[in-house]
Amino acid sequence: MSAQRELPSSWHWAEFGNIATVASNLVNPSLYPNLPHIAPNHIESQTGRLLPWATVAVDGVTSPKHLFYPGQILYSKIRPYLAKAILAPFTGLCSADMYPLETPLNARYLLYWLLSSEFTQYASLVQGRTVLPKINRDQLERLPVPVAPQPEQERIVATVEEQFSCLDAGKAAIERVRQNIRRISAAVLDSPFEAIPFSKWETLASLATIVTGSTPSTANPANYGDYLPFVTPSDFDHGDRVASAGRSLSAIGAQGVRYLPAESVLATCIGATLGKVALATVPCATNQQINAVIPGERLLSEYLFYCLARPSFTKYMWRNSSSTTMPILNKSKFSALKVPVVSIVEQERIVGEVSERMKFIQTLSAEITRVEARIARLRPAILAAAFSGKLVPQVADDEPASALLERIAVERASYHGGRPTRAGRPLSDKVSI
């Protein structure tokens, strides 16, 4: 790996081992049952956020773990491409898959470097093993760190945290909007049908043909060749119209599938996706995870689709599902679902009204997704600016980073009784790895 770029004149490249120490302190966990236990899965990728955790006793920890202290950085050496690191807010035990780190630099400055895309790229390129990527201590200690003057480190940290705070507020606002959209969507789907008298509700089995198991429908696969779309639950969600799928019969073979005509309403009947609904706008094939409904002459396919897309239908499926390992809704319970029957003219009116409102909701959701993606791109962009010297201005009176590194080297040499240490070898202004 080769990495060379200019730094501001007051900055200096250093090897990681020059400015940080792996504070190994393996202890017997049985002596610390009430301390927090932190593993890589308790750290959110790329954000430096600590996720919910449990104590050593609750997690049933038995093998030796590192004892860490407040202010140390915990960095996951497993799958370094995930960029998992936090600043410890308390004393606890961490997995042996993590490095507790100490540094004479501003600890948050180093933390943000560990979370940056640039450092993550370096770490990913030197990681060992292919099955479970891991960066060992020697590899970590040889990675580069762009060291800014100490006062500038503090300014960078303050500015990064101010910007991240704004991004977090934006994400929280987006989540509130998403929750409102979900509520509005549920109301749009439910309200037209709730107004229909229950006396007009009939069972699904009396109004449509329900295709389950591997029984083929009236669609003839020979008419569509090998390119008949093969639809699975991953190809649709509420509000979807399945016009095509990522696979075809030519890819998966025709054994164990069913064939459906266009305008079939598809409803997932098994697993975590139970209750998802879609409308097939072209002939397709499905597997046994999906119940297919072919509307009779009294129902418009679009009308039936919106009936089944209601949140109340999803709740019905979950309430009536069985199996201790995986939720399954059998054919008899699916067939017993009640559907409101009104005139075709009234069905067309309801479809037009719901379709128009859902189209607006989907447009709004798509815009929210785009905003969310922009926010996600801003976090690494802020860190990239921070470690290229572009986030805050340089101040001429700041002591240069080279002086800071020399002082760190002297202090480390003194601590080690005058013996040479890695801190005595700062890199040049350009670094090659």
What tens digit of pLDDT does each residue of 4-52 get? 689 999 999 999 999 999 999 999 999 999 999 999 999 999 999 999 9
pTM: 0.76
Tens of pLDDT, residue by residue over 253-294, are 555 567 777 888 888 888 888 888 888 887 777 877 888 899
Residue pLDDT, tens place only, 167-192: 999 999 999 999 999 999 999 999 99
Give me the residue label for tokens 């934006």: 170
pLDDT band with cut points at 50, 70 and 90 for residue 317 = confident
- Domain limits, the chain: 203-341
Q: Scan for tokens 């606890």, then name that residue.
A: 92
Confidence class of residue 54 from pLDDT cuts 50, 70 and 90?
very high
Angle at 160 between CA 98 and CA 397, to 5 degrees: 110
pLDDT at 256: 55
Residue with more model confidence, 213 or 143: 143
> Is residue 123's pLDDT more than 60?
yes
Statement: residue 65 has pLDDT above 80 = yes
**Mean pLDDT score, 41-65:** 95
Q: Domain 203-341 has what CATH class?
A: alpha beta
For residue 314, name the pLDDT band (cuts at 50, 70, 90): confident
| Distance of alpha carbon 144 from the chain centroid | 28
Look at residue 239 in the predicted model and tell me its pLDDT: 53
- Using 50, 70 and 90 to split pLDDT, how confident is the model at 69? very high
Tell me which of 187-191, 317-321, 339-343 is least confident: 317-321
Q: What's residue 327's pLDDT?
A: 86
Query: Is residue 70 within 8 Å of 92, Cβ to Cβ?
Result: no
Please tell me the predicted confidence (pLDDT) of residue 406. Answer: 95
